[in-house]
Amino acid sequence: LQAAVQQDPTNVEAAHELIEIYRLVGANEEQLRLTNELLTRNPADARAMGDKAIALSRMDRAAEARDATLDAVRLAPENHRLHLILLQ
């Protein structure tokens, strides 16, 4: 997946899949880097914003994580996963 994302940075689905792998293996810096890249291209990507919140939380950057979670909830208020992140 890394090669696919490097070859085509506009492949959002591959990027989201790679972010999920980074999350599962605890590669928080890589998860944050890739979510920031996605958000640079599309600031309204609620999924990327939620993934950013998770990475920041795992990096003990609580205030930034909370802000990112609130931004994600504003972008996709119907997404219950984001509300659960906010409650953690």
pLDDT digit string, tens, across residues 9-57: 889 999 999 999 999 999 999 999 999 999 999 999 999 999 999 999 9
Q: For residue 83, is pLDDT > 80?
A: no
Q: Are 54 and 23 in contact (CB under 8 A)?
A: yes
More reliable by pLDDT, 79 or 22:
22
Closest CA to 54 of 12, 18, 17, 26: 26
For residue 51, the model assigns a pLDDT of 94
Q: Burial code of 11-36, b = ≥16 C-beta within 10 A, e = fewer? A: ebebbbebbeebbeeebbebbbebbe
Look up residue 33 and give its two tokens.
Answer: 């880097």
3-state secondary structure of 43: coil
pTM of the model: 0.88
